[in-house]
Amino acid sequence: MGVEELGSRMRDQARVLVAGAGPAGAILSLELARHGVRSLVVDRAAEPPLFPKMDYINARSMELLRRLGLADQVRDGAVPAGFDADFLFVLDLDQPPVSVWRQPSPRKQAARYAAATDGTGAAEPYLRITGSLLEDVLRRALRANPLVDFQESVELTGLEQDADGVTVTLADRAAGQADRGRRVRADYLVGCDGGGSAVRRALGIDLPVSGPSSSRCSVYLRSSDPLLRRHGRAFITTSARGITLVSRDEADLWTASFQIPDGTRFEGDPVAAMSEKLGETITVDEVLTVSHWTGTLAVADRYRAGRVFLAGDSAHQFYPFGGHGANNRYRGRGGPGLEARRPPRRLGRRAAAGQLPGRAPPGRPVLQGDVQQPAGGLAALRAAGPGGRLPRAAGRIPGA
Ligand X SMILES: Cc1cc2nc3c(=O)[nH]c(=O)nc-3n(C[C@H](O)[C@H](O)[C@H](O)COP(=O)(O)OP(=O)(O)OC[C@H]3O[C@@H](n4cnc5c(N)ncnc54)[C@H](O)[C@@H]3O)c2cc1C
Chain contacts with ligand X (rule: CB under 6 A): 19-25, 42-45, 53-56, 131, 155-156, 192-194, 198, 218, 293, 312-313, 320, 323, 325-327, 329
Specify whether the CB–CB gap between 77 and 136 falls below 8 A. yes
Taking the complex as a whole, how short is the minimal distance between the CB of residue 117 and ligand X, in angstroms?
Answer: 29
Taking the complex as a whole, how short is the minimal distance between the CB of residue 139 and ligand X, in angstroms?
Answer: 9
Q: What is the DSSP secondary structure assignment for residue 48, as one 8-state letter?
A: -
Residue type, 341: R
Percentage helix, strand, coil for the chain under 3-state DSSP, each rounded to 5 = 35, 25, 40
Taking the complex as a whole, how short is the minimal distance between the CB of residue 224 and ligand X, in angstroms?
Answer: 22
The smaller minimum CB distance to ligand X, of residues 337 and 343, is found at 337
CA distance 49 to 283: 25
Taking the complex as a whole, how short is the minimal distance between the CB of residue 157 and ligand X, in angstroms?
Answer: 7
Specify whether the CB–CB gap between 241 and 279 falls below 8 A. yes
Taking the complex as a whole, how short is the minimal distance between the CB of residue 219 and ligand X, in angstroms?
Answer: 11
- List, as one string, the DSSP characters of 75-131: HHHSPPTT----EEEESSTTS--SEEE----HHHHHHHHHH--SS---SS--EE--H
Taking the complex as a whole, how short is the minimal distance between the CB of residue 301 and ligand X, in angstroms?
Answer: 17
Taking the complex as a whole, how short is the minimal distance between the CB of residue 150 and ligand X, in angstroms?
Answer: 12
Number of continuous H segments (helices) and E segments (strands) in the chain: 12, 19
Taking the complex as a whole, how short is the minimal distance between the CB of residue 42 and ligand X, in angstroms?
Answer: 5
CA distance 378 to 318: 13
Helix (H, G, I), strand (E, B) or coil at 182: strand
CA distance 134 to 75: 10
The smaller minimum CB distance to ligand X, of residues 61 and 275, is found at 61
The smaller minimum CB distance to ligand X, of residues 54 and 352, is found at 54
The smaller minimum CB distance to ligand X, of residues 56 and 145, is found at 56
User: Pick from 80, 98, 45, 84: which is nearest to 235 by CA?
Assistant: 84
The smaller minimum CB distance to ligand X, of residues 24 and 148, is found at 24
246 CB neighbour count, 10 Å cutoff: 21
The smaller minimum CB distance to ligand X, of residues 208 and 348, is found at 208
Alpha helices in 259-362 (DSSP H): 270-278, 325-329, 336-342, 348-352
